[in-house]
Structure 1
Amino acid sequence: MTTPHDDADFRALMGDVRPLTRGHDRAHPGRRRQGPSEAQLARRESAAGGGEADDILSDDFVDLVPPFDPLDFRRDGIQQGVVDRLRHGGYPVQASLHLLRRPLEECRRSLPVFLRDAVEHDLRSVLIVHGRGREIDSPPNVLRSYLAKWLAAFDEVQAFVSASQADGGLGATWVMLRKSERARAANRERQQKRRG
């Protein structure tokens, strides 16, 4: 609750301060605002043109996954049996990416390239080895937490889970990739041949 005395003190402190007028450039009065700089235009073009996987991976903030909690993610429509089979190594390792002891920025650059190559070569199950620390803020656990955030950002990733002990345990992650259109067409063709 303010008193008349508080109002008088406030007015005395403000003295000759006047509100800003609307429509003027506050930084430089009398100067008209210019268009975007070349650097700003280049950034806009890059953002609009891409949709590149590299651009969607942020290293701003991540909720850290506790070091002894397994990673587990599946998109709608993916059956739990497929995820269980993936977790227990029921699919062959078609490719693997080793990120152990690598800087976070290098991992952020390597992951999209690896996944893009895997999709282009019609690979479905890949293994990412990243390590796991004992402390929640240890570098391997921070990487594991970012990896969980990044993998979920790729439409091609159908599911991912922490590997079984035989495949690296909590220090490795199985990733199931979406079947390419080329692989789907080949699968339909095989099924039609079987039916006669």
Structure 2
Amino acid sequence: MNANQRDEQLFSHEMADVIPLNKGRNRADAGNGGARPPSEAQLARRASAQDGEQESNFLSDEFVDLLPFTDPIEFRRDGIQTGVIEKLRHGGYQVDSQLNLLKRPVAECRREVFRFIREAHQHELRCVVIVHGRGKSDESHANVVRSYVSKWLEQFDEVQAYATAQPRHGGLGATYVMLRKSHRARQRNRELHQRRRAP
């Protein structure tokens, strides 16, 4: 008996007590007991919600100048100390979360970056990593995504700085992102400092 025959015999043995579904009941939406299809009003609300999400995504989807695939990238907003970008560049901050964009289409990357940065800021995360890949040429898909990520990050008010990651976090194929503190976190810090100053 060869391996295929053994597999077939084992499969038949395991399936011996399986009862086939009744005809017409082999689909999740079949029969009167299934859920009704969404109404026109429900469909309109879904479409409106999706349109609203797309409209709120301000990230540019226009042509981007490609970055040299061998060069590290970095950015810091005016008012951010050089010590912050230095520490970020050297992986000195704890990474709170990571977004993986490897092999995803640019349009999907745009949606995911928008969602990820907004949610990270809402959850008061400070340092996150975006993994986009490196590529082997300026025109490679990974470098196109990397170039867009660099452009998109500068469009967020929440982003204070970003820099190419250290090798342990992906090197040229990933980017550290430093987010500004949320209003709640800044308020907590002020209250903490006031308590420390109090006699």
Question: How much does 1:51 deviate?
Answer: 7.5
SS of equivalent residue, structure 1 residue 126: strand
List 4+ stretches of structure 1 deviating above 6 A.
none
CA distance in 2, matches of 1:51, 1:160: 25
Which residue number corresponds to residue 169 of structure 2? 167
Amino acid at match of 1:110: E
Q: Is 1:72 matched with 2:74?
A: yes
Aligned residues: 149
CA distance in 1, matches of 2:55, 2:108: 20
Question: How much does 1:72 deviate?
Answer: 0.7
Amino acid at match of 2:93: Y
Question: How much does 1:63 deviate?
Answer: 0.7
Amino acid at match of 1:178: R
Which residue number corresponds to residue 111 of structure 1? 113
Which residue number corresponds to residue 151 of structure 2? 149
Identical residues among aligned pairs (%): 58
Which residue number corresponds to residue 60 of structure 1? 62
Question: How much does 1:58 deviate?
Answer: 2.0
SS of equivalent residue, structure 1 residue 107: helix
CA distance in 2, matches of 1:96, 1:166: 13
CA distance in 1, matches of 2:144, 2:61: 11
Instruction: Give the alignment of 1:1-196 within 5 angstroms.
Output: 52=56, 54=57, 56-196=58-198
CA distance in 2, matches of 1:100, 1:143: 9
CA gap of 1:51–1:74, structure 2 versus 1, over 3 A, is farther
CA distance in 1, matches of 2:114, 2:100: 14
Amino acid at match of 1:186: R
List alignment gaps of at least 5 residues for structure 1: 1-45
- RMSD over equivalenced CA pairs, Å: 1.9
List alignment gaps of at least 5 residues for structure 2: 1-50
Question: How much does 1:164 deviate?
Answer: 1.1
The structure number with the bigger radius of gyration is: 1
Structure 2 length-normalised TM: 0.71
Amino acid at match of 1:195: R
Which residue number corresponds to residue 4 of structure 1? none
SS of equivalent residue, structure 2 residue 129: strand
